[in-house]
Amino acid sequence: MNSKLVQPSYSVKKDDIKREWYIIDAEGQTLGRLASKVAKILQGKHKPIYTPHMDTGDFVIIINAEKIKVTGNKANTKVYRKHSGYPGGLKEVSYKALLEKQPEQIIRHSVKGMMPKTILGKQMFKKLKVYAGPNHPHQAQKPKEIDLDKI
C-alpha cells in the first residue's frame, strides 16, 4: 500500500474547541428523550470535530425541570434508590416526591446515567445546569435556543 495515499485522521486540539451555551425548555418534554439528546450535546457528538478522548461538548441550561413528563405509569411506580454502604443504609425516594422537592435531580440523574462512567464523563457532566423554574443566572453567556428535534 502506498503511504502517500493514506490521510491521517484529524485530532482536535484544545484551541480548536469553541464552546457554546444552549438553553432547553423541558416543559412537556419526555424525560428519557430529553436526557439522551442533552448527553449527546454535553459530549460534543453533535459537532463534526467530535473526538472521543477530548471534551468537545457545549454547556446546556435546562429550565422548567418541574414540568418534565414521563410515559406510562412511571409517575406512580418509579423509585430512585441510593445506598450509603452501611447495613440498613438503603434510601428510596419516589418519582412524585422527588418531583415536588427537587425536580432538577430527576433530570440530572437521567442525564448522568447516559454519560460515560469515566473522569472525562464527570468533567463533561459539570457543564449541565438545571433549574426548576423558567429563570436562570446565565444571561451573560447569551445562551441560544436549540431545537432538540434536529439533534
Q: What is the pLDDT of residue 100?
A: 96
Q: Which three cell numbers stand for residue 48?
A: 463534526
Domain count, the chain: 1
In a domain, 113, yes or no: yes
Q: What pTM was estimated for this model as a whole? A: 0.90
In a domain, 95, yes or no: no
Cα Rg of the chain (Å, integer): 19
Q: What is the pLDDT of residue 5?
A: 67
In a domain, 82, yes or no: no
Q: Which three cell numbers stand for residue 114?
A: 447516559
Composition of the chain by helix, strand, coil, percent to 5: 35, 20, 45
In a domain, 42, yes or no: yes
3-state secondary structure of 135: coil
Q: What is the pLDDT of residue 1?
A: 53
Structural domain containing residue 29: 18-70+101-150
Q: Spell out the residues 6+ positions from residue 97 whose beta carbon is closer than 8 angstroms to its own.
A: none
Q: How many CB atoms lie within 10 A of CB 35?
A: 24
Give the Cα separation of 52 and 119 in Å (integer): 13
56 near 12, Cβ under 8 Å? yes
List of the chain residues with pLDDT < 50: none
In a domain, 2, yes or no: no
Give the Cα separation of 127 and 110 in Å (integer): 15
Give the CATH number of the domain where residue 36 resides.
3.90.1180.10
Q: What is the pLDDT of residue 151?
A: 80
Give the Cα separation of 125 and 127 in Å (integer): 5
In a domain, 6, yes or no: no
In a domain, 78, yes or no: no
In a domain, 83, yes or no: no
